[in-house]
Structure 1
Amino acid sequence: MAKKEKRFVQTHVESSVFENTAIWVDRETGVNYLWHSSGEAGGMTPLLDREGKPIITTVLEEKE
């Protein structure tokens, strides 16, 4: 059976005791998302450039 690849990959993380900020990239679309959580609350939103278009990144395949 073929190994199923993860759709999202975390490319950046900053964290402290009560806060976590990360950038996730969708492998299929290349769209970057910002995740931020504080305490028990959190949210995710697409990262946009100054024209309001989503930031796209090509994610290279991970080597085993």
Structure 2
Amino acid sequence: MSDETLAWLSAHRRNIDRYRELLRTDLAVTECAFVKRRLAEEKAALACLGLAQMNQIRSVVAEPRDKTSI
């Protein structure tokens, strides 16, 4: 996994933690709706990033090896 990918994963996790903390506070209805929407967006982004990484790993593992290199 690249450093850039790790940085994105970390950023999304921090944002998710931040939004969860905000939901524990006393927010107005519109603020709460906004934070919930952003939380869902961050979770979706984190899931997409994780899926992309899993697909990349699977493609590397599934590649046939060159028998001459063994």
Q: TM-score scaled by structure 1?
A: 0.18
Larger Rg: 2
Greater strand share, 1 or 2? Answer: 1
Q: Identify the structure with the greater helix proportion.
A: 2
* Higher relative contact order structure (alpha carbons within 8 Å, sequence separation ≥ 6): 2
Normalising by structure 2, we get a TM-score of 0.17
